[in-house]
Amino acid sequence: MTRALGLLSLAPTPTFALLGLLSATQEGSLASVVCSAGHGSSPLTGMVSMYLLMSVFHSAPWIRMITQRRQTLQRANLSSNAQRADRS
């Protein structure tokens, strides 16, 4: 169950990034007309910027996972290097 929750915590970041990308590419659609306050405004306003910010705000689990994996790999490399030195 803990593993499932850990994987679930990784879902928002790519989801929001994908929604931001889709929002940016759907310029001129009904959704962008309804959601934007002004026409001809920057593509980084409105829904696109909100989705990108949400993606950044929810990136902590990804950063934690990457950091833990790097530390694990570094420990494994140090351990294998120490074993090689002991054999010499």
What range does the domain containing 58 cover? 2-87
Query: How many separate domains does the chain show?
Result: 1
Token pair of 57, please?
Answer: 């705000």
* 3-state DSSP assignment of residue 38: coil
CB atoms within 10 A of CB 4: 8
Output the pLDDT for position 58: 92
Whole-number pLDDT of residue 30 = 54
- Which tops the pLDDT comparison, 47 or 29? 47
In the chain, the largest separation of any two C-alpha atoms, in whole Å, equals: 71
Name the pLDDT band for 72 (thresholds 50, 70, 90).
very high
In this predicted structure, the answer to whether residue 39 has a pLDDT above a threshold of 80 is no
